[in-house]
Amino acid sequence: MNSPTFTIMQEYRGGRLPLFHVDLYRLSDPREIDDLGLDELAEDGVLAIEWAEKLGSDARLESSRYSCAVSVRIEHVDADTRTITLG
């Protein structure tokens, strides 16, 4: 199995819908992100994006376009505590 940490995009099939896990951590050029085709992935399955803040404010992929979109933010409070915010 590939580690999502070292893979920009990983696809998981076998469930009711395919799950696309995208890790934008290593991408800095907005054109690289556009080339991933995130809009198309979101139409075909479940799209989970790590480091979504790298999409920027001018990103074409916005949760308001998708009625089923859920934003999950996990923040480190300290070594043993995390805050999870759903939006």
| Angle in degrees, CA 50, 66, 34, rounded to 5 | 50
Position with higher pLDDT, 4 vs 29? 29
pTM exceeds 0.85 for this model: no
What percentage of the chain carries pLDDT values higher than 90? 32
pLDDT of residue 52: 84
Q: Report the amino acid identity of residue 1.
A: M
Written as one string, the DSSP assignment of 1-32 is: ---GGG-SEEEE-SSSS-EEEEE-TT---HHH
pLDDT of residue 37: 85
Q: Tell me the pLDDT band of 16, cut-offs 50, 70 and 90.
A: very high
Mean pLDDT over 49-68 rounds to: 69
